[in-house]
Amino acid sequence: MKLADFLLCAVFSIALPIGQVMFKFAALYNARQDGPLLMRMATNYPLLGAFAWYGATSLVWFYILTRVPLSSAYACSILGSGLVPIFAWLIFKEQLSWQFGAGYLLMLAGFLVIMLGRAA
């Protein structure tokens, strides 16, 4: 994978957990609103922002897939999934276990195996 393509994938893998954090902020905002669910959703500006963010990241994903094989791009995107709990811990003070840390290290090792296999 070319460096520019890897950087695009890295940006995308960070953009996904940012979207998840935006959805969590939207859920917290929703808890403070009154009225019917559809009205709360329509006036939940963090939720609308999260939808817009995911729309933009979908366009980035499409662009990545014009340049990188899906199997390689998806391997990079999985790294972002592991960032969601870390962001939850940092921002929302959610608890993480040692099992999470061990699992994330295994996931990183798997990513390295995949990328080294692609380079060969």
The two three-digit tokens of residue 65, written as one number: 């897939």
pLDDT of residue 100 exceeding 90, the answer is no
Q: CA–CA distance from 68 to each of 17, 31, 82 (Å)? A: 21, 41, 22
pLDDT band at 13 (very low <50, low <70, confident <90, very high): very high
Q: Are 20 and 46 in contact (CB under 8 A)?
A: no
Residue 63: predicted pLDDT? 96
Q: Which residues contact 82 (CB under 8 A, 6 or more apart)?
A: 104, 107, 108
49: domain range?
3-119
Helix (H) or strand (E) holding 34, with range, is none
**Domain total for the chain?**
1
Task: State the DSSP code for 33.
Answer: -
**pLDDT (tens digit per residue) in 52-93:** 999 999 999 999 999 999 988 888 888 888 889 899 999 999
Residue 12: predicted pLDDT? 94
State how far Cα 70 lies from the chain centre. 17
